[in-house]
């Protein structure tokens, strides 16, 4: 009996690893045109979100999610990218300017950047998990990022930092499943943060 359980466990583990690898490849290929990064990433989070609910499959759920979130991902993603670029420019500008006012503004920008990063880390999971307008979605991500700031910084942020570091040091990290694994963990933490404050979460 224990041998059968071992075989079953290995079979399930192999299926999970194959799905993670396949999802990583799908996300990477769909992101290649560059302009398709928002819906491709939304589909990544949506597929990972489905796994949390015990659903299986990769290709069908991924492309159905891609079509479903193509509009909302641009509405939310493009302004978020613009704010990120603006923050990067301001941080660079004030860091290179050593006046007293510049140092004060640099401190303000750094503080806002921490809050912004914390909110953005919850934006993808929220986009594919709750029924909200784009504005309400952004507001909910901001509130979640602020209220769960410590949790975000010590859990989700290190997970994505590891992924980025692995990709920078080894391009192989782009295809071995690290991105879907981080997205799954991101969804798990975000939903735990929400469910700790409300009994019912309207899901897609």
Q: Is 55's pLDDT higher than 60?
A: yes
Euclidean distance between the first and the last CA atom of the chain, given in angstroms as a whole number: 40
| pTM score, whole prediction | 0.86
**What sign does the CA torsion over 148, 173, 53, 76 have?**
positive
Greatest mean pLDDT range, 43-52, 88-97, 168-177, 194-203: 43-52
Tabulate helix, strand, coil % of the chain (nearest 5): 80, 0, 20
Q: Is 134's pLDDT higher than 60?
A: yes
Identify which of 169, 159, 180, 163 has the alpha carbon closest to the alpha carbon of residue 25: 180
Q: Is 5's pLDDT higher than 80?
A: no
55-to-11, 52, 130, 144 alpha-carbon distances in Å: 17, 7, 18, 26
Q: Is 3's pLDDT higher than 60?
A: no
Query: 153-160 contacts: CB < 8 A, separation 24 or more?
Result: 153/114, 153/118, 155/185, 155/189, 156/121, 156/122, 156/185, 156/186, 156/189, 156/190, 157/117, 157/118, 157/121, 159/185, 159/186, 160/121, 160/186
Q: pLDDT averaged over the chain? A: 85
Q: Quick one: average pLDDT of 63-72?
A: 93
């Amino acid at each position: 009996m224990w041998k059968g359980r071992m075989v079953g466990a290995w079979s399930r583990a192999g299926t999970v690893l194959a799905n993670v690898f396949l999802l990583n490849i799908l996300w990477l290929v769909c992101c290649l045109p560059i302009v398709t990064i928002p819906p491709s990433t939304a589909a990544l989070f949506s597929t990972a979100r489905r796994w949390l609910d015990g659903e299986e499959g990769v290709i069908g759920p991924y492309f159905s999610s891609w079509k479903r979130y193509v509009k909302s991902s641009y509405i939310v993603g493009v302004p978020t990218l613009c704010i990120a670029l603006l923050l990067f420019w301001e941080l660079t500008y004030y860091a290179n300017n050593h006046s007293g006012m510049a140092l004060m503004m640099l401190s303000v920008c750094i503080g806002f950047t921490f809050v912004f990063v914390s909110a953005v880390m919850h934006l993808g999971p929220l986009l594919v998990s709750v029924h909200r307008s784009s504005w309400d979605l952004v507001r909910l991500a901001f509130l979640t990022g602020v209220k769960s700031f410590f949790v975000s910084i010590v859990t989700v942020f290190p997970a994505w930092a590891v992924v980025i570091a692995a990709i920078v040091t080894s391009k192989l990290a782009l295809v071995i499943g690290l991105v879907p694994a981080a997205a799954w963990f991101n969804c798990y933490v975000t939903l735990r943060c929400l469910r700790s404050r409300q009994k019912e979460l309207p899901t897609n």
